[in-house]
Amino acid sequence: MSGMTQEQGGLVYNVFTTGCPSRGTLEHVTGRWGGLTLGALHEGPLRFNELRRRINGVSEKMLSQTLSALERDGLVHREAQPTNPPRVDYELTPLGRRVTDRLLTLIHCVEDAMDDVLAAREEYDARQKS
Amino acid sequence: MSGMTQEQGGLVYNVFTTGCPSRGTLEHVTGRWGGLTLGALHEGPLRFNELRRRINGVSEKMLSQTLSALERDGLVHREAQPTNPPRVDYELTPLGRRVTDRLLTLIHCVEDAMDDVLAAREEYDARQKS
DNA sequence: CTGTATCCTTAATGATACTG
DNA sequence: CAGTATCATTAAGGATACAG
């Protein structure tokens, strides 16, 4: 398979290589809506429309698409009750929780850095004008 | 400013809110090329074309665009020698290193999970067929 | 070598309407 | 409620040429 190397009997995945499947999964996790979806589910299971309200700005279509990708990758579990009206709960799998923990650490790091980031932007923009 | 709350005298940024500037920075960090660029620079300073060769698949245009955004956010420092031919080195700032450390932890977590992810996909696809 | 500018193509997203 | 389908729009990306 492309983008992977063999090493001591185990397959080694490398996101830096085109064609490595890990690149796609990383994109699902860090994509515009993927990350926010995982973050929202970190606090506990949520229904479809609960998620929509939490993730400010996501459309039905994108949320549906995002959830499918995450479910297919084994990061999110989908539990559908066969009731009427239907009720569907989404929750993180153990694997999803591991990934999301790391993702949230990154997110919080970025949020904490924003004062510095905004200051850097002002300086950069000022330098460009001159 | 939109997307931020005030709390005990400090500004609180929240990527889950539309309009919060942290959302943009997170996208620079986790975007298709931003993450790979930061990851490549983690090992040390690199020149423009060295970066291009490292980041398999990136075009001149996207790399240039990505580097500008990261520089503006204060995550990457650009050092241009006024020689001919020109030589430009890019390296992480201390802030960029903090963010990149978290990002690489996430990336490695995803890479390590890929065997499970691929297995989950097969199961998902099999379930869809039936 | 290190980019910028342009054009063009494709992929992502959003709005809307509709189904079970 | 929980989606899917369709269409229109927009944004991202790639190829190429060229400038400093």
Q: pLDDT tens-digit profile of A34-55?
A: 999 999 999 999 999 999 999 9
Residue A123 forms part of a structural domain: yes
Q: Which domain holds residue B89?
A: 31-129
CA/C1' separation B93–C13 (Å) = 33
Q: Domain count of chain B?
A: 1
Protein-proximal nucleotides of chain C (any atom < 7 Å from a CB): 1-6, 12-17, 20
Query: With an 8 Å Cβ cutoff, are B119 and A74 in contact?
Result: yes
Query: One digit per residue, pLDDT tens: chain B, 130 residues?
Result: 667 877 666 679 998 888 889 989 999 999 989 999 999 999 999 999 999 999 988 999 999 999 999 999 999 999 999 998 999 999 999 999 999 999 999 999 999 999 999 999 999 999 886 6
Residue A35 forms part of a structural domain: yes
Torsion, CA A105, CA A37, CA A25, CA B31, rounded to 10: -70
Residue A64 forms part of a structural domain: yes
Distance (Å, whole) CA A121 – CA A97? 34
Per-residue CA distances from A116 to A40, A44, B74, B78, B99 (Å): 26, 32, 8, 17, 12
Protein-proximal nucleotides of chain D (any atom < 7 Å from a CB): 1-6, 12-17, 20
Residue A18 forms part of a structural domain: no
Distance (Å, whole) CA B54 – CA B40? 7
Distance from CA of A90 to the nearest CA of B (A): 15
Residue B73 forms part of a structural domain: yes
Residue A74 forms part of a structural domain: yes
B65: CATH? 1.10.10.10
Residue A94 forms part of a structural domain: yes
Residue B1 forms part of a structural domain: no
| Residues forming a β-bridge with B90 | B46, B78
Work out the average pLDDT over A66-90: 96
Q: What percent of chain A has pLDDT over 70?
A: 93
The nucleotide closest to A59 (CA, C1' atoms): C14
Task: Check residue B18 and give its pLDDT.
Answer: 81
User: Rg of the Cα trace of chain A?
Assistant: 19
Distance (Å, whole) CA A80 – CA A93? 15
Size of interface A-B (CB pairs under 8 A): 146
- Token representation of residue B113: 């999970």
Distance from CA of A84 to the nearest CA of B (A): 23
